[in-house]
A and B are shown apart, each in its own frame.
Chain A
Amino acid sequence: MRQSPLPSDCAERLAHARIGVAGCGGMGSHVATALARTGVGGIVIVDFDTVDGSNLFRQCYTPSHVGEKKTKALSDILLDIEPDLELEAFDGEITAENACRVFSGCDVVCECLDRPEMKAMLVESLLSVTPGSVVVSCSGMVGFGRSNSISTNKRMSRLYVCGDEESDASEGPGLTAARVMVCAGHVANMAIRLVLGYDKP
């Protein structure tokens, strides 16, 4: 068992936390690994997709994962990082009907889906139905624009949005590992801060 670099009270709070990660692509795979490395004790990951060769440019998978379900591949990676992790993996699509059940008991849910319609649906479902839930979402991390144009902002009473909120995957350059990881770092850090009792972005 590795030793946490954090003060013991912080490590204790993180060890007892449960954080949801919706989507195991470029954002979600990096968010989940950051959470596991930081010592978050419980993680729920959700995705319906399979690892494809084109994913290797920005997602945390390796060629040996191609063809595997993303939830399986990411589970293996996370349990390699932290064998004691309490991990729940849901292989399926998030819907307005199942979102609250899938993420029940989560202190924070990180919205890492790719389609804007799905992002809006998940945020709305969790915030309108689940009392006390907090969502950290991502919006705008495409291309090789300035790192410093990506920020974390508290946009609603229980919603934080990380990203430049402008660059859209359907326009312009594609997603790149470096800028996606900048944004994933924002999402993971905000989730960790919330668990530790800090609500300022």
Chain B
Amino acid sequence: MILEVNGEATEVPEGTTAEDLVTLLGHRSDRVAIEIDGRVCPRHARPTTALMPGQHIELVSFVGGG
């Protein structure tokens, strides 16, 4: 299925969860914040949040320094 991730069409397997997406894109789960169709998906809900075709996902992966 095709999702829009950070503005780009991204193909992922059917049944991909929010947690799977973080891993597929090579990010560390504890450094990431995710918004799905305008709503933040908390980390505890990621493993059970199945993604649907066409959803708009914003994934921000933070780097250190402040």
Name A's B-contacting residues (CB within 8 A). 23, 25-28, 112-117, 119-121, 123-124, 127-128, 137-142, 155-157, 159, 161, 163, 165-170, 175, 180
Contact = CB atoms under 8 A, between A and B. Distances in A.
B33 A116 contact: no
Interface residues of B, number: 18
21 contacts: A112-B66, A114-B64, A116-B62, A119-B62, A120-B31, A120-B32, A120-B33, A120-B60, A121-B30, A127-B35, A128-B42, A137-B60, A138-B66, A139-B62, A139-B63, A156-B58, A159-B60, A161-B60, A165-B63, A167-B63, A167-B65
Contacts, number: 85
Looking at A114, A115, A180, the one whose CB has the most chain B CB atoms below 10 A away is A115
A23 B40 CA distance: 23
A138 B42 CA distance: 20
Interface of B: 28, 30-33, 35, 38, 40, 42-43, 58, 60-66
Q: Chain B interface secondary structure, helix, strand, loop or mixed? A: mixed
B65 A141 contact: yes
Given A123-B33, A159-B33, A116 B60 contact: no
Contact of A117 (B30, B35, B38): B30
A46 to B, nearest CB: 12
Contact of B64 (A28, A116, A159, A180): A116
B63 A124 contact: no
A121 B63 CA distance: 13
Nearest to B38: A157
A114 B31 CA distance: 12
